[in-house]
Structure 1
Amino acid sequence: MTHSQESDETLASTTEPGSTEGHDATIEAVVIAEEGTTAAPAVPAPVPAPAASPSPAAFAARPKAPAATAAPAPAAAAAAPAVDLAEAAKFGRAEEDGHVFLILDGEEFPVGQYPGATKDEALAYFVRKFDEILAQVALLEQRVEAKAPTTDMNKTVVHLREQLGERTSVGDVNTALARLDALEANIKALAATERAAHDAARAVELAAREAIVAEAEAIAAEDPTSIQWKVSSSRMNELFEFWKQAQKSGMRLGRATEEGLWKRFRSARTVFDRHRRAYFSQLDNNNAAAKSAKESLIEAAEELATSTEWGFAAGEYRRLMDQWKSSPRASRKDDDALWARFRGAQDKFFAARQAANNALDEEFGANLVVKEALIAEAEALLPIKDLNSTKKALQNIRDRWEEAGKVPRNDMQRVEAGLRKVEDAVRAADEDNWRRSDPEAKARTSSALSQLEATIAGLKEDLEAAEKAGDARKVAKATDALAARQLWLEQIQKAAADFS
């Protein structure tokens, strides 16, 4: 075996195949002639930056250059990083033939050969390989310090341990291994923190999904007869959109968990849709029945609309209205249309009745003038001076009252009360006259006077209360009654004076 072949085999046995080509230039600088002569070695190429540091396997031997190829001029090569040879000597040594050894725990381990170079150059070459490993260790320490994702950090630690274990570099292996031990502990702690953060985020995501499902289930469980379908349908659609968004951009929860939640959510939506369809189907049936019942009432109302039997028809309309109120409601649109038809028939009837009443009121207006004159004539009879002549005059007024005929409805109560006041006074005087002719009349007069005075006092209180309440009907009634009682009081007081 020639010297060049032996050198090539040594290089091949101390480096791994598959390394990057960044260091091939260093090997190519050593050109070994087949006759055993060696060309001047070039200055080793600089070590690449730590971010792209190759593994020791990058230094596998390349095919030998042809003998006629000259070595690159030393001046053209870049200067290699300086190596502290004094520090390097603590961890390795080199022999004259370029063989380099690692000193570890008092033992020496061959790491490779750098032929055709000085001992310092050979040792420096393998120290720089160790520095590349340290650069990767430092880079990993920076990643841990920055709390970068730990996805591939453990693999990197294993790879660096393997590189140190291959004994293909020279340096403080024990310190490097200690740094890797510390890195493993820090990576483990960082991974635990990552898992805790991941678990916390997953718990939040799971709670959000659970909230979506729980709300959907709560909506589906509502009573179909009292649920607000428009609001609930809108909310159920929103929940479905939330679910799709969570599936699209939320954290993955695991196939089994997500499928379980989806089955619950889908089941709630299915139940809700089934209840909604059933409710609206029943609502359609109820609406049809309500429409049918109210259309019958409308037909009856429309038949009465042209009736001139005012009292009978008005009573029938009241009965139909009671039935309408007790009938079930149709849909809002249908019910409004049905009510418009029913109200239209009512309005037609009552408008005709009002027109008829207005015509009668116009006709009865002349009668009102006559009766108001008769009331004034009757009131002129008071106070009574001659009972017999007063009674005859009042009877004449009554006869003419009946001949005058009806008055407008709104004035009927007023004119009747006006004549009744005079009639009550004459009647009271007549009764008083009869009592005075009775042997016991004198005794009773005093009692009647006291009772009447008490009655008048009560009527005054009623009148005052009615005025405070603003009740015009009660005010009129109390006024008429009080006026009549006061007339009676005058007559009784006069009778009492006659007895004295």
Structure 2
Amino acid sequence: MDEIFAANKQRIDQMKADWAANKSAKERLVSQAESLASSSDLRAASDRMKSLGDEWKRIGPCEKSDNERLWGRFNAARTRLRERKDQEFNKRKAEWAANRSAKERLVGRMSSLSSSSDYRAAKDEARSLTDQWRAVGPCEKSDQERLWNDFKSAKDRLFEAAKRDGEQRAAERRQRAWERVSRLEEQLRNTEAALYRAQDSYSRALSARSPSMNNPNWMTIVRNQQERQSNARSKIASLEQRKSDLVYKLMDARSKANSL
């Protein structure tokens, strides 16, 4: 009988010791859980709280009153963390929705720029829109990727259109520059031809035979000859100046055309 009593007492003492150890372990988990409930790192706290839940399941029982009290505290801590996480998620969802709307507006504006006729102003605005995009916070990953692809595609279309327009304008400038060279070359040829004719006319005026002094119109004829010579010299001087001006303009025009 004493042996049975002793065995029962030993079993009860062991159970109480186990309960005390389990109570101590659960108190430790409760303390950690309550600390996690107010953590600022909700993701890490949530992962750690899940681990604590797994540990709780592995710990044996303790006295019912202690078990219920400790479980109530532990579960309350889990609930607080979950509610905070839900609030944070709802807040983030609202921010994501606002950011998505902001980015949709930026996509729409960027898309409209590709049809602009003033590419310089459009590219400046595109750079400003890119800065605004960077300033807007994130949205859901699927929306983020879709909107960024739309935004970038619209921006690429704009800059490609601006590049084509720039190349076309450059080609037109080169064409106008070489057309100016051609006009100046033609003007120079015409001036040289006119100068040749003026020099020939001057040579003929110089070689004209002087009238006989017995001719009653001698003075008139001499004056006419001198006037023709003077006019020819003036025309030659004018044409030489024009030729010089044209040569300078032609050299400048060729230099500019070659630089384009």
Q: TM over 0.5, yes or no?
A: yes
2:131 paired with 1:322: yes
Whether 1:310 aligns to 2:119 is yes
Say if 1:152 and 1:245 are closer, same or farther in 2 by CA, change over 3 A. Answer: closer
Partner deviation per Cα, 1:219-263 (whole Å, 9 max, x = no partner): 21113xxx243x4434333332332333xxx1x321221112111
Q: How does 1:353-392 map to 2 (within 5 A)?
A: 353-359=162-168
* Cα shift readout 1:451-488 (whole Å, capped 9, x = no counterpart): xxxxxxxxxxxxxxxxxxxxxxxxxxxxxxxxxxxxxx
Separation in structure 2 between the aligned mates of residue 363 and residue 204 of structure 1, nearest angstrom? 91
Distance 1:254 1:353, change over 3 A: same
Letter in 2 for 1:150: A
Query: Which structure 2 segments of 5+ residues have no match?
Result: 179-243
> How far apart, in 1, do the equivalents of 2:253 and 2:18 lie?
100
How many Å separate the matches in 1 of 2:248 and 2:141?
A: 61
Q: Percent identity?
A: 25
Matched residue type, 2:131: D
Q: Distance in 2 between matches of 1:239 and 1:399?
A: 89
Question: Quick one: distance in 2 between partners of 1:355 and 1:287?
Answer: 37
Take 1:149 and 1:346, find their aligned partners in 2: how far apart are those partners? 89
Note closer, same or farther for the CA distance 1:317–1:152 as it changes in structure 2 (3 Å cut).
closer
2:53 to 240, 244, 265: 240
Q: How many residues align?
A: 194
Root-mean-square deviation (CA, aligned residues, Å) is: 3.7
The corresponding residue for 1:493 is: none
The secondary structure found in structure 2 opposite 1:281 is: helix
Contact map agreement 2:23 2:67 (CA 8 A) in 1: no
Question: Residues 297 and 320 of structure 1 are in contact (CA less than 8 Å); yes or no, is this contact kept in structure 2?
Answer: yes
- Which position in structure 2 is the counterpart of 1:300? 109
Cα 1:152–1:324 change in 2 (3 A) is closer
Shift of the 340–228 alpha-carbon distance from structure 1 to 2, 3 Å rule, reads farther
Q: 1:276 to 1:336 in 2, by over 3 A?
A: same
Q: CA deviation at 1:316?
A: 0.9
In 2 relative to 1, CA 293–406 (structure 1 residues): closer, same or farther, beyond 3 Å? farther
- On the 8 A contact 1:220/1:272 being kept in 2, the answer is yes
Instruction: Please give the residue correspondences for 1:51-70 in structure 2 after superposition, counting only pairs within 5 Å.
Output: none
Distance 1:348 1:210 in 2: 64
Query: CA offset at residue 323 of structure 1?
Result: 1.6
Whether 1:151 aligns to 2:7 is yes
> Which structure would you say has the larger RCO, counting Cα contacts within 8 Å and 6 or more residues apart?
2
Give the equivalent residue in structure 2 for 1:400: 251
The equivalent of 2:142 in structure 1 is: 333
Counterpart code for 2:34: E
Quote the Cα distance in structure 2 between the aligned partners of 1:149 and 1:364. Answer: 114
C-alpha spacing 1:396/1:217, structure 2 compared with 1 (3 Å)? farther
99, 102, 108: which is aligned to 1:290? 99
Is the CA contact (8 Å cut-off) linking 2:95 and 2:139 kept in structure 1?
yes
Higher CA-based Rg: 1
Evaluate the alpha carbon distance shift between residue 152 and residue 220 of structure 1 in structure 2; reply closer, same or farther with a 3 A threshold.
closer
CA distance, structure 1, for counterparts of residue 123 and residue 29 of structure 2:
59
Q: Which amino acid aligns with 1:337?
A: R
Find the counterpart in structure 2 of residue 254 from structure 1. 63
| Conservation of the 8 A alpha-carbon contact between 1:308 and 1:353 | no
Cα offsets for 1:424-455 (capped at 9, x unmatched): xxxxxxxxxxxxxxxxxxxxxxxxxxxxxxxx
1:213/1:265 contact within 8 Å kept:
yes
* Whole-angstrom CA distance in 2 between matches of 1:261 and 1:396: 104
Q: Distance in 1 between matches of 2:252 and 2:26?
A: 91
1:215 corresponds to: 32
Q: How does 1:127-206 map to 2 (within 5 A)?
A: 150-152=6-8, 195=13, 201-206=18-23
SS of the aligned residue for 1:221 comes to coil
**How far off is 1:348 after superposition?**
0.5
Q: Which has the higher helix share?
A: 2
Asked if 1 retains the 8 angstrom alpha-carbon contact of 2:103 and 2:133, the reply is yes
Query: In the alignment, does 2:157 pair up with 1:345?
Result: no
Cα deviation per residue 1:82-140 (whole Å; 9 max; x = unaligned)? Answer: xxxxxxxxxxxxxxxxxxxxxxxxxxxxxxxxxxxxxxxxxxxxxxxxxxxxxx99xx5
CA distance in 1, matches of 2:249, 2:25: 93
Alignment check: 8 A CA contact 2:110 2:129 kept: yes
Q: In the superposition, relative to structure 1, how do residues 253 and 319 fare at CA in structure 2: closer, same or farther (>3 Å)?
A: same
Cα distance in 2 for partners of 1:198, 1:398 equals: 113
CA separation of 1:344 and 1:285: change in aligned 2, threshold 3 A: same
User: In 2 relative to 1, CA 258–361 (structure 1 residues): closer, same or farther, beyond 3 Å?
Assistant: same
Residue 112 (structure 1) aligns with: none
